[in-house]
Every structure is written in structure tokens, then in C-alpha cells.
Amino acid sequence: MKKHIEEICREASEAMVRAADNDALAKVRRQYLGKNGILTGEMKKLKTLPVGEKADFGAAVNDAKTRLEEVFAEHRDRLERSALRKRLEEEAIDVTLPATKIQAGHTHPVTQVMEEIQEIFIGMGYQVVEGPEVEYDYYNFEALNIPDDHPQREEQNPLKINENILLRTQTTSVEIRVMERQRPPICAIASGRVFRAQEADRNDLPNFHQIEGLVIDKNITFSDLKGTMASFARHMWGDLARVKFRPYKYPYNEPSAKMDVSCFHCGGKGCPVCDGAGWIEVLGCGMIHPKVLAMSGIDPDVYSGFGFGLDVERITMLKMQISDIRLLYENDESFLAQF
């Protein structure tokens, strides 16, 4: 009888070790050790045995049960370890694989250029000032020596809110506000949006950005203006950038000029970017008209100053070599991502 139990135990052990997974293993355990299992059935035979054999047989069955439970536990652990190993292998990260590129946003090209220009002037000691986009006619035109009948009013096509209030057409309006608020020496820049009632085409938009600069103190001359602008150009377009001034007429500046910079693409030899001229117009500037100083309460006999203004989109187009200003505002990600 004992041999028979040994036989069952060996059979059961082999079946357990062969089990490929936990389910198969549990099935074998039920088959031998379960309520209706083979070994449990053997135990039931105990009562039919002669008294002298009962103790030995019972011990043999219990011993077989204990050993099988041990085999079961061992093999269960082995299966769990191998399952874990397999999972770790599957989940392993190959650190040598190239990374997925993260699509990060970036500053808009117009903002990039605006910040670059601001940084240059901040580096020269300029203070950054602000003015309102909804402005009085007085600050936008009248105080800038642009009276009611002046042709520049029509040229700039203001978007009017009423007789006295409009959306500013130029950041020059901030100059007046600064002059009213501060006493010289003044050294400030203002940047922001300006608005004009004009159709969007390749060169113009109804809404664009300007940067305005203003310097007022005793003994400020046109040479100071020229030196400042030349220094700005070298910071902006490199050490080889040269500037030249062409006479122009701004009502609020006397004398006033347009400034050209030597073409930063061809260095002045002539190319499609500069239309073959070797020079590119970048800004307007001039000495502040004595009348404008006086209107803002600054004595033109004591103080003098200069101002300059530039269109940020124009500089951006030149820098990025874009021929249509509208491209900057179409929000085409693939276009903007280039910059």
C-alpha cells in the first residue's frame, strides 16, 4: 500500500513540474490534493484497512501530501519568477534608441525681433515705457505738429472712435506722453501695436508693431542721433553694417531723415533682398521739432533731443527674408516653425 502511495506522489510531482503556468499547476493540485482528489480518495480507504496497517498508511498519505504541497509551492514560485522576468524583458527601455522629438512652441518671429531690438536699447541705457493703444487725437497728431489739415493724417488713415479718440497710428504718440510726464534727461523706448484703416496686402496690414525711441537732454545734436543709430545697426546686423541718412520730412522732426543700412544679405554689392541697391531702408528719425518740445512743456532753448521709429514687421521681413507681410499672421505652424 505504501508503495502505491509513493507511486501516486511521484506521478503527481512530475505532473506539477511539467505545468507550464499557474492555471495548469492549480489543476494538478486539485487533481491530487483537492476534496475529490486522488490522495484524498486514498485517505478514505484508511477505515477499510486492518488496525495494524492504519497508522503506517495514514502517515504515508500525510507525508505524500506534505511533499506535494512543497513541490507545488516551489514550482509556483518558479513560475512567478519567470513570468516576472518575461514582463521585465518586455517592458525594458532601450536607452540607445533615438528620442522622439518634442514639438515645443516658440516665440513668434515678430516678438523675437521686437525683443532683440529692445535688448539693444536697454543695453544702451534706455528705459522702456508704454502708452495706450486707444489714444487721443491730440497725442497721436496735434501735439506732434500734425494739425487738422495736415496731409499726414490722411496718409495714416486713422481708425477713429470719435472726433477726439482714435486707435493710435504710430507709437510716436508715446513720445508726447513721456515728455509731459518726465523732465530731461529722457532716454526711453516704447513698443507696441499701431492701427491703420488699410487693406492687408503684401506690404501692409491694418495692425502692426512699431518701436519708438526718444532722447532729450542739453546739447543733444544730430551727431548723437547718427552715432546711436550706427551703434544700433552694428548690434542688430553685425559689425560691418554701415548706415546712411537721406533727408525726409516728418512734421515732428526738424531736420528729419530716413536711415538706410548697408544690405545685410550682400554686404552692399547689390542683391534681390536690397533690389540691387546695396542699401535697405530701416527706420525714420530726426531731431525733435522745437514746437513739439515746447508743446510738451520742455524749453527748446535749453533742451534738444532726437527720436526714431521703426516698423517691427518690416525689420522681421528683412531679417527672415519674407516678401509678404501677411505670412507672419496666417498662423501657419509649418511656416512659423522655420524661425
Binding site for Zn ion (CB under 5 A): 263, 265-266, 271, 273-274
Q: DSSP for 55-85?
A: HHHHHHHHHHHHHHHHHHHHHHHHHHHHHHH
Pick the closer one to Zn ion by CB: 72 or 237. 237
Helix axes 22-33, 51-91, angle to 10 degrees: 170
Query: Which of 176, 97, 101, 192 minimizes the C-alpha distance to 141?
Result: 176
Pick the closer one to Zn ion by CB: 72 or 279. 279
At 107, phi and psi to the nearest 5? -65, 140
Q: How far is the CB of 192 from Zn ion (least distance, A)?
A: 30
Residue whose C-beta lies closest to Zn ion: 263
Pick the closer one to Zn ion by CB: 76 or 234. 234
Q: How far is the CB of 267 from Zn ion (least distance, A)?
A: 7
At 137, phi and psi to the nearest 5? -50, -35
SS3 282: strand
Q: How far is the CB of 227 from Zn ion (least distance, A)?
A: 25
Q: How far is the CB of 276 from Zn ion (least distance, A)?
A: 7
Separation between Cα atoms, residue 285 and residue 224, nearest integer Å: 12
Pick the closer one to Zn ion by CB: 42 or 260. 260
Q: How far is the CB of 262 from Zn ion (least distance, A)?
A: 8
Pick the closer one to Zn ion by CB: 277 or 336. 277
Q: Is the dihedral of CA 81, 83, 86, 90 positive or negative?
A: negative
Pick the closer one to Zn ion by CB: 219 or 321. 321
SS3 291: helix
CA trace torsion 261, 266, 271, 273 (10° rounding):
-60
Q: How far is the CB of 125 from Zn ion (least distance, A)?
A: 32
Q: DSSP for 229-248?
A: HHHHHHHHH-TT--EEEEEE
